[in-house]
Amino acid sequence: MAASIPPFSLLRNYAATTARAFVTVKVKPSYAISSTTLHHLPSRSRRLQFYASATNNEEAAARAAAANADSGAPTIFDRIIAKEIPSSIVYEDEKVLAFRDIDPQAPVHVLVIPKFRDGLTQLGKAEARHGEILGQLLYAAKIVAEKEGILDGFRVVINNGSDACQSVYHLHLHVLGGRQMKWPPG
C-alpha cells in the first residue's frame, strides 16, 4: 500500500528501474501495515516501521535491479547523460558527468558517472583497460568536492552489487558531505 511507503522510496524505485514496476514490500512477512494501523502506533514505533519499510524496500529494489544487471539494458543514467530527463549538473567534461542525487543522503550528495559505460555496470566489472576512466572519476569527485566547498571532509562511496544496495547498474561514485559522517557506515 502506497501509504506505508515513504515518497522518496517510491521515487528511488522509479528511478532505479528501466523495465520494472514498483516493488511492494511488506514490513513483516505476514502483513503490510495500513495507514490506520500506523496512526495508532506510538510515534517512535511509527518511525521504526517507516525505517524498516524503507530499508526493506531499498534492499528489494537492489535485488530487483541486480536481476537485470548483466542485461546491458540502458539505465536511468543514460537518459540523464542524453539530457532526456533533467538533472542538476555540478560538473561535466568529455568523459564524466556529475549531478545531484535525486534522494540526497547529505547536504551535498552528487553522483559522478562515466558518460560511456563501456561494460562498467559496477566496479566489480572493472578490467585493466578501465584504469584511466576510473582515475578520471576519482579526480572528478575531488573537483566536485572543491566546487561544493567540502574539501575538508567528504566521503566517496561506490555501492557494488545487491549486498551493497546498488540500485542503478551504471558505475557511479557518490560524493557526500556537508555534515559529520559516521563510521562504520550502515
Compute the least distance from the CB of residue 80 to ligand 5GP, in Å: 6
**Chain residue at closest Cβ approach to ligand 5GP:** 15
Residues 6+ away with beta carbon under 8 Å from 23:
13, 57, 60, 61, 64
Does residue 111 contact residue 98 with C-beta atoms inside 8 Å?
yes
Rank residues 53 and 166 by Cβ distance to ligand 5GP and give the closer one: 166
Q: Which amino acid is at 168?
A: V
Rank residues 46 and 160 by Cβ distance to ligand 5GP and give the closer one: 160
What is the footprint of ligand 5GP within residues 22-41 (CB under 6 A)? Answer: none
Compute the least distance from the CB of residue 105 to ligand 5GP, in Å: 7
Contact flag: residue 148 with ligand 5GP (CB under 6 A) = no
Contact flag: residue 12 with ligand 5GP (CB under 6 A) = yes
Contact flag: residue 102 with ligand 5GP (CB under 6 A) = yes
Residue located via cell numbers 548483466:
70
Rank residues 91 and 99 by Cβ distance to ligand 5GP and give the closer one: 99
Contact flag: residue 103 with ligand 5GP (CB under 6 A) = yes
What distance, in Å, lies between the first and last C-alpha atoms of the chain?
Answer: 26
The footprint of ligand 5GP on this chain (CB under 6 A) covers a number of residues equal to 16
Contact flag: residue 99 with ligand 5GP (CB under 6 A) = yes
Is the dihedral angle over the CA atoms 20, 26, 31, 36 positive or is it negative? negative
Using DSSP's 3-state secondary structure scheme, residue 155 falls into strand
Catalytic residue among 109, 170, 172, 174: 172
Residue 172 among the catalytic residues: yes
Burial of 151 (0-12, 13-18, 19+ CB in 10 A): exposed
Catalytic annotation, residues: 172
Binding site for ligand 5GP (CB under 6 A): 12, 15-16, 76, 87, 99-103, 111, 159, 165-168
